[in-house]
Amino acid sequence: MGKFMIEEKAWFRLCVVGIVFKNNKFLFLKRPFPSQLWVPPCGTVRKNEKILDALHREIYEEAGIRVKVKKIVDVWQGWHDGEEVFSVSYLCEPIDDKVVVSDEHLQFKWVPLEDLNKVNTDFDITKWPKYL
Tell me, what CATH number does 40's domain have? 3.90.79.10
Per-residue pLDDT of the chain (132 residues; tens, 9 = 90+): 455 555 566 578 999 999 999 999 999 999 998 789 999 999 999 999 999 999 999 999 999 999 999 999 999 999 887 889 999 999 999 998 899 999 999 999 999 999 999 999 999 999 999 999
| Residue-number span of the structural domain to which 58 is assigned | 13-131
**Amino acid letter at 2?**
G
Domain count, the chain: 1
Residues with Cβ within 8 Å of 79's Cβ and at least 6 positions away in sequence, in order, are 85
Whole-model pTM?
A: 0.89
Cα separation, 96 vs 27, whole angstroms: 13
Beta partners for 18?
Answer: 90
Per the domain annotation, does 5 fall within a domain? no
